[in-house]
Structure 1
Amino acid sequence: MPEESLTIIGYVRSSLQRRTDAPKQGFEGGVQACVELEPEFTAGLDGVRPGQDLLLFTWLHKARRDALLSHPRGDTSKPMAGVFSLRSPHRPNPVGMHRVRVLALDGSRLTVAPLEAIDGTPVVDIKPVLDAEGRPALPDAPSLPEADAAILREAGERAWARGLVSGFNGNLSLRRGKTMLITASGCAKGRLTQADIVHVRIADGTTLQGGPCSSETPMHLAVYRAVPGAQAIVHLHPRNLLALSLMVSEDRLLALPLYEASAYRREMAFVPALNPGSQELAQAVAAALVERKAVFMHGHGLTCRGRDVFSALHLAEELEGLATIQLLTLR
């Protein structure tokens, strides 16, 4: 039979010195312990954060490898069973699996709890615990309120129905205190689910729950930081407004002899064509939205802010409606 080998990436440092000191499961009396990785594996911890739950895989070096049968939990009063149906450490490949929470991270040293592995136990792998959507679980992150998810779903459906977004383009967000909820990258706005919404801290852009974020997250963050009154942002690709921008100059865009045209046009600023997702675009849009409620991004789309997501969406609908009227006059 071919043999494979495992690479030891680090070792457990624990107050548990003997096998008899260790509980059978972490939740039965596991202790706070450290995992010290070998220096060459430190980069593998990039993305791991305190508060995160991990699965720690160890090599139970003191276990017997010739066992195929064992008493459940070592209780000799119970009949023996196959080791593949048990959590016995004695097995052909004695790999231990331990669910722990990260308490601290300092370079190559992880402080975790609760861990039942004894001091000196080799560590062979570390993986994140996943949530129901298959994403790394961050149990200390605020939960996503269903009411907020419902608001974004309704707004996404409305934007799609009005032709303000199509396919996977556009993004929507809500300010919630010091955080924001934003649609994830690559999701269809007309069919949003709770898994398509990402919770992000505004101050530093840290993802608290879900992901990956929309590529335009920097723009939403920049606006929320610059405009305290902005409670929601919609970034859309309204087809008629975009088509019109390719046909007339900026000074003629929405320049119609209608009262509402001049009123709504005064709400809209313009920024030049800048790379989508760039900090340059984010800062330009944020600066424009300090005084205005809408920004037309040449060659790109429209961003509106509002006291809530529907007021931002209503403004976008008004601007798209005026673009539709102007297109009709050009025929």
Structure 2
Amino acid sequence: MTGRREMFEAREGEQRLEIDPALMPADGGVIFIGRIASPWTTRETCPKNMRAARETGQPAALTIDPAYRAGLQGLERASHLVILSWLHHAPRTLIVQKPRHAAEAKGVFALRSPARPNPIGLHVAKLIALDIATGRIEIDAIDVLDGTPVVDIKPYFASTDAFAEATIEGRDER
């Protein structure tokens, strides 16, 4: 389990957990249902968010494992999907981080950084094509590395998932 901690140098103001959550006994029994095929093979080339990923014009695809493909039935009705991924290359010990663009450090739960105790990625993507037989889901873009595990997929409901009035103080989300 070495390597992940050493890959990321701590910046001033950052704090690490005493124990790496990856070394703790599992308590949720999370399984991966497939993998993401993306054009991104390095952290340096991977877009930092879905907006940046869409700007590249690079599509992506998910391949769902055979045991879970029946669960895709009816998904073709959705125009957009919520994809939960496991950001398996992210460090899990940073609890306070100082992003390069930020003036001050912030707790991990106040950030969208992949470095967190449970590195779960949240992505809203446009559904381009679905082939249940092969488990292939084509989407407009993704902001993860090639081979990233898929934890779950849900249809996106604009009527309940979108909040036009949502803000982060001091940040323009446009």
TM superposition score normalised by structure 1: 0.38
Listed one character per residue, the Cα deviations across residues 184-227 of structure 1 (whole Å, up to 9, x for unaligned) are xxxxxxxxxxxxxxxxxxxxxxxxxxxxxxxxxxxxxxxxxxxx
Offset of residue 123 of structure 1:
0.4
Counterpart of 1:4 (choices 5, 19, 28) is 28
Q: Any conservation in 1 of the 2:78–2:155 contact (CA below 8 Å)?
A: no
* Structure-to-structure mapping, 1:137-148, within 5 angstroms: none
Listed one character per residue, the Cα deviations across residues 15-53 of structure 1 (whole Å, up to 9, x for unaligned) are 111111111111113431010000000011111117611
Counterpart of 2:111 (choices 81, 86, 102) is 86
Listed one character per residue, the Cα deviations across residues 107-160 of structure 1 (whole Å, up to 9, x for unaligned) are 20000012111100000000111132x49xxxxxxxxxxxxxxxxxxxxxxxxx
Whether 1:119 and 2:146 are equivalent positions in the alignment is: yes
- Percent identical pairs in the alignment equals 34
Structure 1 pair 5/82, CA: closer, same or farther in 2 (3 Å)? same
Structure 1 pair 28/2, CA: closer, same or farther in 2 (3 Å)? closer
Counterpart of 1:28 (choices 49, 52, 59) is 52
Q: Any conservation in 2 of the 1:50–1:103 contact (CA below 8 Å)?
A: no
Whether 1:98 and 2:123 are equivalent positions in the alignment is: yes
What amino acid does structure 1 have at the position aligned with 2:145?
I
CA distance in 1, matches of 2:40, 2:52: 14
CA distance in 2, matches of 1:51, 1:114: 16
* Structure-to-structure mapping, 1:32-43, within 5 angstroms: 32-43=59-70
CA distance in 2, matches of 1:53, 1:126: 10
CA distance in 2, matches of 1:124, 1:58: 5
The equivalent residue for 2:96 is 69
Q: Give unmatched runs, 5+ long, in structure 2.
A: 1-24, 162-174
Q: Give unmatched runs, 5+ long, in structure 1.
A: 136-331
Indicate the structure with greater helix content.
1
Structure 1 pair 50/21, CA: closer, same or farther in 2 (3 Å)? farther
